[in-house]
Structure 1
Amino acid sequence: MKHLVKTSVGVMQVYENYIVAIVNEGETVTDLSNADLFKIVKNHFKNKKFIYISYRVNSYAVDPIIYIQASKIENLIGFAIVSSKKIARINSQIEQIFSKKPLKTFTDINDATEWANNTIKEAEEK
C-alpha cells in the first residue's frame, strides 16, 4: 500500500493500480463522498489509469447516482465490488446500471486485486 487516506465515510487504501475503499458501518455513500475520491485521483493518479475497489466488509447504503459522477473520471477504467454477502452482490447489479465503466463483483479481495492489476496491464498494452 502506498497511502492510507481517511475520508468522511471510511478509509481508502491507495495502491499502484487501484484504490480499495472500506466504508464505515451504517454510513450512506452519496455524491458528497465522491469529493474524497476526486481528491485522491488528483493527488495519486494524475495521468495514470486505475481501478476503484469497494471492499464491503461493513453494512452501509450506496446511492447509485455516485457512479454517474465517478464514471466521468477519465483515467478510472473500472469498478470492483467485493462482498461475501449475497445482498451486496444483488445490490451491485443495480449499481452497475448507473456505471458507464465496467463493474465486476467478487467474493474475495485477492480476486478483485488480481483482476484490477490484469485490467490495468491490458489497458496499458493498448
Structure 2
Amino acid sequence: MGTTTKINRKVLSTLETKIGKFEYYSNMVVGEVKEGVHVTFETAVEPLQEGAQIFGYAENFVYISHRLHSYSIDPTGYYEAASMFPNFKALAIVATNRRRRMLANLERLFMKRPIHVFDNLESAFEWAETFLENQPKNPF
C-alpha cells in the first residue's frame, strides 16, 4: 500500500489488527487481510470502529479490499456493516489471482452495494474516486 499517489490520497490513519492492516484516506479505506484469517463481522469490528471515528456518518466512503493473501470471508457480515454505515457506498476488490477474482464475484450475492473487481490497486482508486464524485452527499 502506498502513502500518497493522486488526488486526496494521503493516508490519514493506519490501523494494524490481528486480521490485517487498514489504511484510512479521506473517503476510502484500503484493507489487506493477513494470510489464513477468517473475516467475520465480529473480527472486523475494530477496523469498522476506526472508520466510524474518521468518516462519521456523513462522509461517503468506499472500501478497497487489496487481496494479496488467501483468507476466508463470512459474506453475511456485509449486511451488518452496510446497515451500520449508510455512508459505506461501494466495495472495490483488487485480486490478481484468478480464483480470488472468481470468489470476489460471488460476493455480489451478499451485498446490496456496488462491487467492482480490479486487477490492480490504481484502477480501484480511480474507480472509487469517480464513483464517489457521482454520489449525493449524506444529509447527516
Give yes or no for TM over 0.5: yes
* Alignment partners' CA distance in 2, 1:79 and 1:36: 18
Poorly superposed stretches of 4+, deviation over 2 Å:
none
* Alignment partners' CA distance in 2, 1:51 and 1:37: 14
Task: Give the one of 43, 48, 51 matched to 2:59.
Answer: 48
* Alignment partners' CA distance in 2, 1:93 and 1:62: 13
Per the normalisation by structure 2, the TM-score is 0.84
Gaps of 5+ in 2: 1-10
* Alignment partners' CA distance in 2, 1:42 and 1:67: 16
**Percentage of matched positions with identical amino acids:** 29
- 2:15–2:47: 8 Å Cα contact kept in structure 1? no
Aligned to 2:75: 64
Q: Matched residue of 1:116: which SS?
A: helix
Aligned to 1:93: 105
Task: Tell me whether 1:39 sits opposite 2:53 in the alignment.
Answer: no
- Once the two structures are TM-superposed, the CA of residue 125 in structure 1 deviates from its matched residue by 7.3
- Greater helix proportion: 1
The 5 Å alignment of 1:1-126 reads 1-46=11-56, 47-72=58-83, 73-124=85-136
Per the normalisation by structure 1, the TM-score is 0.93
How many matched pairs? 126
Gaps of 5+ in 1: none
1:69-102 Cα distance to aligned partner (Å, 9 max, x none):
1221100000011010111111112111000111
- 1:10–1:24: 8 Å Cα contact kept in structure 2? yes
Larger Rg: 2
Q: Matched residue of 1:104: which SS?
A: strand
